Structure 1
Amino acid sequence: MTPALRDTVFSGLRHAALMAGALVVLMPFIWMLVTAMKPPQEIFIDQIRFWPGQMYLLENLHEAFTKAPLLRYLLNGVIVTAAILAIQVMVAFPAAYALAKLRFPGRRVLFGLVLLCLLIPPHAIAVPLFLLFHQIGILNSYAALILPFTISVFGIFLMRQFFLTVPDDLIDAARMDGLSEFSIVWRVMLPTAIPALIAFGIFSVVAHWNDYFWPLIAVNSEHLYTPPLGVAAFRNEEAGTSYGPLMAAATVIILPLVAAFLMAQRRFIEGITLTGMK
């Protein structure tokens, strides 16, 4: 076998393996979309039928939007995720800049604490947070959904790794021009960190848009439900779960995430790549 032929065969095998893996990952989403297109009588048949015999997508979407205030759930998701991301950026950028570019006693210890906090699962502090929010009276509000996630140690770590790749000469030039440290963060470092910011934004939005655990604890009013909590409206213990409208609602809920990732895909990959350069 010639080297060119061997490379072609190995390349074909790699692509085949990647396509098989992608199919395994995408199959639940494909099945969700197919189920959203089926009428009730086809969902519960005793045989596997991939493509629906009768297209029922519009009816399932109509029932999804009429059975539950789906638009309200989506609006709550936008408000909560946007507020969390904005506050996380406001906290993570100065903290990451200080850990990456400033020299002060205890800098390595503080960065070690950041790494330590990465190991703490959010479920471990859910009960203390619930008790604290109950004492100060902010449960069942937007504040209860937003405040626990305003400081992202992952965001600090990611931005710090990116800032290490920024030349010190750029910061020294900004200081010679009379910029303060906070001005350097927002006027110099922020424009250079757009790829890392987009990468972190996708991680943050996906995590908090899909979060079911904490909203289930923090709120009990339906008008505050986030999208994952909204799908519980399609569960009926007496009549059974309406799987068609449920899958249609789930499709509507994940579409913004898919669209955002596809639009920011190039910047996302660039940000992840650059944060590992140093």
Structure 2
Amino acid sequence: MSRARSLSRPAAIARHALLLATGAVMLAPFIWMASLSVKPPGEIFRASFSLLPQQWYALENYGKAVTVAPLLRYMANGALVCTAILALQILVCAPCAYALAKMEFRGRGLLFGLVLTGLLLPHQVLALPLFILCYSLGILNSYAALILPFAVSPFGIFLFRQFFKTIPDDIVHAARLDGLSELAIVWRIMLPMAMPAVIAFSIFSVVAHWNDLFWPLIAVKSPNLMPPALGVAIFRGAEAGSDHGPLMAGAVLVVLPLLIAFVAAQRWFIEGLTSASLK
């Protein structure tokens, strides 16, 4: 026992050192972004390295980021779009996942294979047919163009199916004996029990669509409809120009809600992913 512990201790130290180094590499751009957001223009491109500024310029940079461009409007658009997309995805994905996990019908394996095929297709591949569809429906340059193409998520169906399969079939049989319909079982029993998976999927969905630049760049052109990523790009090109302090301040404000949401839901996020991976 003592020999096994002595052998595993260096491995654990090496493993944690590797994780710390990887985490530092991933966090370095965000820390540098936050540092630049509180520096005056003269210190941003200074040759000597300094994480903290000699002269704090936070009020000026963040004030310019909020007032010069409608950054708060962009963030409000992002909140509206992400909330609507997430609601539609749960509304569609949960019953589909329940049918694939707990119901017996012909072609179930084929449908699940199509879901897995959907996971392999990047969204950019479907951009042209989606653009033509939105043009035919007359919904381009509207919130509907930002929301409806993402109403169905193959990843959401897959994640919910994997979690639903961990729920004992006896619970479903008992609910049917009590007279509940299949949809009632989904919303009143399965989904509350799968709340860790719902939270994990919510974080994935919100982060993906909050940071999405490709599709909004195609679907909308009105500044009043732009989500955060596209708004920051427009802010960089039109208002901020080469003034990197306000630009970094705007980027910090856009990233901050996602960081807070992830930290608040971290435990459920990890639980949702690990529980779904058991099946």
Where on the TM-score scale, by shorter chain, does this alignment land: which range?
Answer: over 0.9
Are positions 1:40 and 2:57 aligned together?
Answer: no
Match of 2:82 in 1: 81
Letter in 1 for 2:266: Q
Secondary structure, counterpart of 1:74 in structure 2: helix
Match of 1:135 in 2: 136
Are positions 1:194 and 2:195 aligned together?
Answer: yes
Secondary structure, counterpart of 2:197 in structure 1: helix
Match of 2:113 in 1: 112
In the TM superposition, what are the counterparts of 1:43-54 in structure 2 within 5 Å?
43-54=44-55
Please, which moves more after superposition, 5-14 or 175-184?
5-14
Q: Is the 8 A contact 2:240 2:247 kept in 1?
A: no
Letter in 1 for 2:25: V
Distance in structure 2 (CA, Å) of the matches to 1:130 and 1:178: 44
In the TM superposition, what are the counterparts of 1:1-278 in structure 2 within 5 Å?
2-236=3-237, 240-278=241-279
Q: Is the 8 A contact 2:213 2:230 kept in 1?
A: yes
What's the offset of the Cα at 1:8?
2.9
Q: Is the 8 A contact 1:96 1:157 kept in 2?
A: yes
Please, which moves more after superposition, 9-18 or 237-246?
237-246
Distance in structure 2 (CA, Å) of the matches to 1:72 and 1:238: 15
Unpaired segments of 5 or more residues in structure 2? Answer: none
Letter in 2 for 1:217: I
CA RMSD of aligned residues (A): 1.6
Secondary structure, counterpart of 2:113 in structure 1: helix
What's the offset of the Cα at 1:2?
4.8
Secondary structure, counterpart of 2:207 in structure 1: helix
Distance in structure 1 (CA, Å) of the matches to 2:170 and 2:83: 34
Counterparts in 2 of 1:175 and 1:134: CA distance versus 1, 3 Å? same
Secondary structure, counterpart of 1:139 in structure 2: coil
Distance in structure 2 (CA, Å) of the matches to 1:157 and 1:206: 18
Secondary structure, counterpart of 1:124 in structure 2: helix
Counterparts in 2 of 1:171 and 1:248: CA distance versus 1, 3 Å? same
Letter in 1 for 2:7: R
Distance in structure 2 (CA, Å) of the matches to 1:11 and 1:171: 43
Distance in structure 2 (CA, Å) of the matches to 1:146 and 1:238: 27
Aligned residues: 278
Distance in structure 2 (CA, Å) of the matches to 1:150 and 1:234: 29
Distance in structure 2 (CA, Å) of the matches to 1:47 and 1:116: 51
Counterparts in 2 of 1:2 and 1:277: CA distance versus 1, 3 Å? closer
Distance in structure 1 (CA, Å) of the matches to 2:181 and 2:237: 59
1:13-42 deviations in Å (ceiling 9; x for gaps): 221111111000100001100010110111
What's the offset of the Cα at 1:134?
1.4
Identical-residue share of aligned pairs (%): 58
* TM-score normalized by the length of structure 1: 0.96
Q: Is the 8 A contact 1:234 1:242 kept in 2?
A: no
Letter in 2 for 1:133: C
Distance in structure 2 (CA, Å) of the matches to 1:44 and 1:140: 38
Please, which moves more after superposition, 18-27 or 224-233?
224-233
What's the offset of the Cα at 1:184?
0.4
* TM-score normalized by the length of structure 2: 0.96
Q: Is the 8 A contact 1:210 1:227 kept in 2?
A: yes
Please, which moves more after superposition, 240-249 or 252-261?
240-249
Counterparts in 2 of 1:169 and 1:68: CA distance versus 1, 3 Å? same
What's the offset of the Cα at 1:66?
1.1
Please, which moves more after superposition, 74-83 or 11-20?
11-20
Letter in 2 for 1:80: V
Letter in 2 for 1:115: L
Q: Is the 8 A contact 1:234 1:241 kept in 2?
A: no
What's the offset of the Cα at 1:47?
3.6
